A and B are shown apart, each in its own frame.
Chain A
Amino acid sequence: MSDLLLSHWNYFIVVLLMMIGLFNVISSMNLVKKLVGLSIFQTSVFLLYISLGKIESGTAPIIIKSGHDGHGNMDILYSNPLPHVLILTAIVVGVATTALGLALVLRIKASFNSIEEDEILNVKRAINSRSKSS
């Protein structure tokens, strides 16, 4: 067990973060905290990808020119750059999601005068019963 923990510690951190994030999204009543949880959840996936790209004893994926011929040195081990590029895109998507979510929270605060889910639910119930009686 401890061997597994040591050799795959990055995955354990990923799973831990993932669960923290998901738990926050589900359990928080505060809408901003929900978005924080969502961000943590997404970040854990970013970490998953980035740690996939790392190759043991591999260096940064920038071709090192060797000596006089100017060609890349075949002996050097490079890490995989593709996951980084993917996650760059995913970070942008994550920022857009958070920004849109926060904008919605602002509008919710303006119309419901609260960002707590249970209070919003009360207001919604009041609207429902009013439209039922009319």
Chain B
Amino acid sequence: MIDWMFHLPAIIVVIPLLSAIIVALLPSRIGWVCASISSGLSFWAAIALTAHMLDAGSLKRMSYFLGGWPPPWGIEFSVDHATTLVILVITGLGFVSTLSSNMLLFNDIHKDDRSRFFAAWLLTLGGLLGLVMTADAFNLFVFFEISSLASVTLVAMGSGRDKRALVAAFNYLVIGAIGATFYVIGVGFCYAMTGTLNMLDMANRLPLVTDLVPVYIGLAFMVSGVMVKAAVFPVHFWLPPSYGFAPMAVTSLLAAIATKAALYVLIRIMMTIFGGFPDMPLMIMQWVFIPLALMAILLGTVLAIYEKDAKMMLAQSSVAQIGYIVLGFGVATLAGVQSGFIHIANHAMIKGGMFIGLGGMAIAVAGKTRMTSLAGLGRRMPITSTGFLICGLSLIGVPLTAGFISKFYLVSAIIAAGYWQIAAIVLLSSALSVIYLWRLVETLWFAPSDQMETRLPEQAMIYIPLWILAIANIWFGINAGMITGLAKMAATSLFGGMS
């Protein structure tokens, strides 16, 4: 049993990557079943890993090295509490959206193409997991590209319904490749100054470097490259079209987990690799992250209000929600980073659920997501629309939902750090987000529809995953201790690297 535990970090990543190859070779009929089993196994392994990390109370970090080369020479998979939290979110949401994906795909993707579709799906999942797990700065770039190439393919598959998906996918590819290359330039500078690629080794050696200019240039390149991947405000523009034109199943996967892994890498760079520099990363977090996050929050919310397409509206709101996470990180106190991690987990549940619910309703109107075509669907599909509404209430942060916990921790962290003006902006944008959610509610429940007022058939494989997430939103809103506790341990382990 101990042996199993020891290999878990590798197993979690290898399961989706290997089964991607297998699924690609299998007939399309069983593609979805295999993908569900594989992502479920990965989730189970992530739970086992979390339990193991919590069990061994004194165990702060688990290290796994591949190919028999011990770190700092070989590639290392490193697990601490921050890693387990993000791994748990990615595998969990990956599993739930895989469950709903087959129905959500509807006729977006031809039945014969589905095995290849699910191969790309699993590659995205495996790439994101590896991204979080790895402790090697260059290996991280490779996982970045695995996940981003696979997700570009997934976005491009939306071209069956709308050919604009191809242009969105192309832009996503080019911008993503530039971001990844920026990251590699940054790693190159740090490698030139320290001679190591292992993050912890680099963190130990960087403070010894005397010539700081290349190090700071490296930091700037790494941070701006990862910001592109995480869709932080000025470089977020690839996100709304990619999410808007991708097949609905793909949107529910990407919105829930894709940017979360990049956000985790962002805080990893700031607090682990550059943990030995007390002033410069802190300055970037306070003077770059906070203003950009505030602009993302305001701009994303306002653009969402004016959006006429429900899917685009939720994509714009994702930009704002990423802003909340970056804002929490930018405050750079223990409570701030904790609130960032809480919102990583909660936003994944919220947006994953909302996109699954929206997809479930859009199927009834041939996959259209414009507001006008969704009119009255709330009355006609009560099970799906109620689950959707619960996730939506969590998005704006109504008490007794998970979203309230995120907002509460974020605002108290900001006030504790002394930025009460910023707290006011956060509350204002929460109030503004009520407007766009209300527009959705009004369309779904109160708008007159030109069709008959009959109940529409609802798919169990859509509303069951949706309700899992809706109940999770309420459960973690009332019983918040689990997520906040994990997030606190995550933040503490990151700050441990700083001292």
Interface residues of A (CB under 8 A from B): 22, 25, 31, 34-35, 38, 41-42, 45, 48-49, 52, 82-83, 86, 89-90, 93, 96-97, 100-101, 104-105, 107-108, 111-112, 120, 124, 127, 131-132
Contacts and interface: CB of A to CB of B under 8 A. Distances in A.
A105 B173 contact: no
A34 B185 CA distance: 20
Contacts of B178: 22, 25, 38, 41
Given A25-B174, A31-B170, A38-B177, A100 B149 contact: yes
B177 A104 contact: no
B375 to A, nearest CB: 14
> Which label, helix, strand, loop or mixed, suits the secondary structure of the A interface?
helix
Contacts of A97: 145, 149, 173, 177
Interface residues of B, number: 30
Nearest to A115: B170
A101 B188 contact: no
In this complex, the member of B181, B184, B188, B370 whose beta carbon has the largest number of chain A beta carbons within 10 angstroms is: B181
Given A93-B145, A108-B170, A45 B181 contact: yes
B202 interface: no
Contact of B156 (A38, A42, A104, A124): A104
Contacts of B370: 131
Interface stretch (B160-168, B261-269, B275-283): B160-168
B145 A38 contact: no
Nearest to B156: A104
Nearest to A128: B164
28 contacts: A25-B174, A34-B174, A38-B177, A38-B178, A49-B188, A52-B191, A86-B138, A89-B142, A90-B141, A90-B184, A93-B145, A93-B180, A97-B149, A97-B173, A100-B152, A101-B174, A101-B177, A104-B166, A104-B173, A107-B156, A107-B159, A107-B166, A108-B170, A111-B166, A112-B166, A124-B167, A127-B164, A131-B370
A96 B149 contact: yes
A111 to B, nearest CB: 4
A108 to B, nearest CB: 5
Interface string B116-153: 00000000000000000000001001100100010011
A111 B184 contact: no
A108 B308 CA distance: 25
A41 B166 contact: no
A89 to B, nearest CB: 6
Closest 6 CB pairs of A and B: A111-B163, A93-B145, A104-B170, A108-B166, A97-B177, A52-B192
Interface of B: 138, 141-142, 145, 149, 152-153, 156, 159, 162-164, 166-167, 169-170, 173-174, 177-178, 180-181, 184-185, 188, 191-192, 197, 308, 370
Nearest to B191: A52
Nearest to B146: A93
A41 B167 contact: no
Contacts of B145: 93, 96-97
A100 B188 contact: no
Contacts of B181: 41-42, 45
Contacts of A22: 178
Instruction: Point out which of A83, A93, A107, A108 has the most chain B C-beta atoms below 10 A from its C-beta.
Output: A93
Nearest to B308: A132
B186 to A, nearest CB: 10
Given A38-B177, A38-B178, A86-B138, A124 B184 contact: no
Contacts of A31: 170
Given A45-B181, A48-B188, A101 B142 contact: no
A103 B149 CA distance: 12
B230 to A, nearest CB: 19
Contacts of B149: 96-97, 100
Point out which of B174, B191, B192 has the most chain A C-beta atoms below 10 A from its C-beta. B174
A31 B169 CA distance: 12
* B159, B170, B308 — most chain A CB neighbours (10 Å): B170
Contacts of A105: 170
A22 to B, nearest CB: 7
A112 B165 CA distance: 12
Contact of A100 (B138, B153, B162, B163): B153
Given A45-B181, A45-B188, A107-B156, A100 B173 contact: yes
B173 A101 contact: yes
Given A89-B138, A100-B152, 9 more contacts: A22-B178, A52-B188, A93-B141, A93-B142, A96-B145, A104-B166, A111-B159, A112-B167, A131-B370
A101 B170 contact: yes
Among A25, A104, A127, the most chain B Cβ lie within 10 Å of the Cβ of: A104
A124 B164 contact: yes
A89 B167 CA distance: 28
A124 B370 CA distance: 17
A48 B188 CA distance: 8
Contacts of B308: 132
Nearest to A100: B149
